[in-house]
């Protein structure tokens, strides 16, 4: 649709480029607390997550979280939670983001087997819903309002 970008701009959507990895995951750049990193854009992930190994990198104040996380490849993973973080994807900003922290080594191991650099986290449905996300797969753009 040729008019989609113009229409979304008129609706105050922010346009953010993503790229496809050879695994067909969507890779997007995002800033957490002002620090840039690589994230997988995952419509099937309920929450936005950061790997436990990135707590210091992103200056996160992590606290114990009573819930466990699950993924397609793992179940019942220990988690922590970090509240009140700034999240920026392109020019779109969420000033008070809550992040779930857990071990992403299984994700990064699978990526490394495909010779893909590790990611710091996952942008999940919580962000996509709050930003009223529209994903333009053919042109590789994420739009957030």
Residue 61: band (very low, low, confident or very high) from pLDDT cuts 50, 70, 90: very high
CA-wise closest residue to 45 among 109, 127, 137, 112: 127
Checking if the pLDDT of 6 tops 60, the result is yes
Q: d(Cα 95, Cα 31) in Å, to the nearest integer? A: 11
Checking if the pLDDT of 136 tops 80, the result is yes
Q: d(Cα 49, Cα 79) in Å, to the nearest integer? A: 10
Predicted confidence at residue 118, as pLDDT, reads 97
Predicted confidence at residue 4, as pLDDT, reads 87
Core vs surface per residue 61-86: b (16+ CB within 10 A) or e: ebeeeeeebebeeeeeeebbbbeebe
Query: pLDDT averaged over the chain?
Result: 92
> Between 98 and 77, where is the model more confident?
98
Q: For residue range 101-112, what is the model confidence (pLDDT) as tens digits? A: 999 998 999 999
> Between 76 and 59, where is the model more confident?
59
Predicted confidence at residue 67, as pLDDT, reads 58
Percentage, residues of the chain above pLDDT 90: 84
pTM: 0.89
Q: Which domains does the chain have, with CATH numbers?
A: 31-144 (2.40.70.10)
């Amino acid at each position: 649709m040729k008019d989609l970008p113009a229409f979304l701009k008129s609706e105050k959507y922010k346009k953010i480029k993503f790229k496809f990895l050879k695994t067909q995951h969507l890779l997007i750049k995002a800033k957490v607390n002002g620090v840039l990193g690589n994230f997988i854009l995952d419509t099937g992930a309920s929450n936005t997550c950061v790997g436990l190994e990135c707590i210091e990198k992103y200056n996160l104040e992590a606290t114990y979280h009573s819930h466990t996380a699950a993924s397609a490849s793992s179940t019942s993973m220990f988690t922590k939670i970090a509240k009140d973080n700034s999240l920026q994807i392109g020019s779109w900003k969420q000033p008070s983001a809550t992040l779930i922290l857990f071990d992403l080594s299984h994700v990064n191991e699978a990526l490394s087997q495909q010779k893909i650099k590790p990611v710091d986290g996952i942008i999940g449905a919580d962000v996509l819903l709050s930003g009223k996300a529209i994903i333009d797969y053919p042109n590789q753009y994420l739009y957030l309002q």
